[in-house]
């Protein structure tokens, strides 16, 4: 006894989603075909629509439906500051802080040998062209403080050093509201190591 072929194909196709194994794919397929057929149709249409409308911003490489994304097209942003992040979600988090008014470059990835992603999978040529186009004076490396993010920052540093740019990295340390007693030793060590002078 086997599943009908179209159900099996759907289960297989759902496994392209990250974090979805055989059991969840089967559960998802049952759900789509039994409980929410309208949702299944909406999902297929949303994929098709995104596939035909989504491209990448020519300047910062984030997802965009137009040649330039909203941030890159905004003349109010500081043109001399370029912040490099891994994913669009990271850019959105920084925008939510309302403390940065420069521009971005979105890598759409990271160096992650375990996932088979190396520096060659990053748009480094496009980034170099953008960072060295004459308008940028400071590049802020805002990749994650994970092993992958640090490796990515190292690749970016190698790429952009000695090119007349100021290279900075966002700060590590205790979170706002953080207590020494409860912070992990690595973060506390880094906070001590990167201690800064107190302004009067």
CB-nearer residue toward a copy of itself: 55 or 172: 55
Do 167 and 139 touch, CB atoms closer than 8 A?
yes
Kindly state whether residue 68 participates in binding a copy of itself, applying the rule CB under 8 A. no
- Given the rule CB under 8 A, which of 47-55, 131-139, 140-148, 155-163 is the region that contacts a copy of itself? 47-55
- Given the rule CB under 8 A, which of 26-34, 122-130, 146-154, 157-165 is the region that contacts a copy of itself? 26-34
Tell the burial category of 20 from Cβ atoms under 10 Å away from its Cβ (0-12, 13-18, 19+). Answer: middle
Do 110 and 120 touch, CB atoms closer than 8 A?
no
Kindly state whether residue 40 participates in binding a copy of itself, applying the rule CB under 8 A. yes
3-state helix vs strand vs coil in the chain, percent to 5: 45, 10, 45
Kindly state whether residue 87 participates in binding a copy of itself, applying the rule CB under 8 A. yes
Kindly state whether residue 101 participates in binding a copy of itself, applying the rule CB under 8 A. no
- Given the rule CB under 8 A, which of 62-70, 159-167, 174-182, 183-191 is the region that contacts a copy of itself? 62-70
What number of helices (H) and strands (E) belong to the chain?
7, 6
* Torsions phi, psi for 57 (to 5 deg): -60, 130
What is residue 43's three-state secondary structure? Answer: helix
Kindly state whether residue 100 participates in binding a copy of itself, applying the rule CB under 8 A. no
Kindly state whether residue 128 participates in binding a copy of itself, applying the rule CB under 8 A. no
Residue of 140, 130, 64 whose CA lies nearest to 99: 140
Residues near a copy of itself (CB under 8 A) are 1-7, 9-10, 12-14, 16-19, 24, 26-34, 36-37, 39-51, 53-54, 63-65, 69-71, 87-89, 91-92, 95, 108-109
């Amino acid at each position: 006894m086997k599943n009908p072929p179209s159900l099996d194909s759907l289960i297989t196709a759902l496994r392209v989603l990250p974090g979805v194994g055989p059991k969840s794919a089967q559960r998802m397929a049952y759900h789509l075909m039994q409980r929410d057929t309208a949702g299944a149709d909406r999902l297929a249409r949303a994929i098709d629509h995104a596939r035909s409308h989504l491209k990448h911003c020519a300047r910062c490489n984030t997802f965009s439906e137009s040649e330039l994304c909203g941030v890159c097209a905004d003349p109010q942003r500081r043109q001399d500051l370029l912040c490099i992040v891994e994913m669009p979600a990271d850019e959105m988090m920084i925008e939510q802080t309302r403390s940065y008014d420069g521009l971005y470059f979105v890598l759409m990835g990271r160096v992650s040998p375990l996932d088979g992603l190396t520096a060659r999978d990053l748009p480094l040529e496009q980034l170099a062209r953008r960072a060295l186009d004459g308008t940028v004076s400071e590049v802020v490396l805002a990749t994650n403080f994970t092993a992958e993010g640090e490796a990515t920052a190292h690749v970016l540093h190698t790429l952009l050093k000695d090119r007349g740019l100021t290279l900075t990295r966002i700060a590590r340390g205790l979170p706002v509201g953080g207590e020494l007693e409860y912070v992990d030793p690595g973060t506390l060590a880094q906070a001590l190591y990167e201690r800064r002078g107190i302004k009067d």
